[in-house]
Amino acid sequence: MILNVAKLPEGDSEFSLHDRPNYFDLSGDEFTLGGPVEFACRVRKMERRVIVRGTVRAAFQLPCCRCLEAYRHEVTAELIADFLPASQSAQEEVHELEQAELNCHTYRHDEVDLRQVVRDHLAIEIPMQPLCREGCAGLCPKCGVNRNLETCTCVPDSVDPRLAILQRFKTPQS
């Protein structure tokens, strides 16, 4: 979604977008978008400054980190972004960013491209360890069966193999 700053009226405007997943180019090796992205926002133009506040909704197809089954994960993210012309920003200065500056962006040639901002806000919502459900039993480490779907007959080891070497060290009993 590209906004032309010169054509935006002063004050508030509202925009919405219900678009195909590939428009935002947000699929990766571990996930794909599972449907259209919905984006609704209020845009306020104050001279050359553009303030965007909105909500973005999308659904991802993610693999569960325990059982590896794909599942649908819906996300809703609040989008906050301020845009200034590249010539007005303090881009050249090197300093630690303050909280207010984290949502500050620049634009060139009177065009504010919201796709990158939407991508960033959605990407933050993807869980680092996605779970298909809270009580996912995962895969059996011996036979690999999905323990959510069937029960395996494997006998669990009495000692974790990573700690088995410690059995060599026995303490004398008093």
Q: pLDDT of 118-164, one tens digit each? A: 888 888 888 999 999 999 999 998 888 999 999 988 887 677 778 88
Distance between CA atoms of 119 and 23, rounded to whole angstroms? 10
Which structure tokens are listed for 14?
Answer: 């509202």
Which structure tokens are listed for 8?
Answer: 């935006």
Distance between CA atoms of 85 and 107, rounded to whole angstroms? 5
**pLDDT tens track for 93-126:** 554 545 445 567 777 787 778 888 888 888 888 8
User: What φ, ψ does residue 70 adopt, rounded to 5°?
Assistant: -75, 140
pLDDT at 36 over 60: yes
Q: Is 82 helix (H, G, I), strand (E, B) or coil?
A: strand
Which structure tokens are listed for 127?
Answer: 């869980």
pLDDT value at position 172?
66
Which structure tokens are listed for 102?
Answer: 């984290």
Taking residue 47's Cβ as centre, other Cβ atoms within 10 Å add up to 9
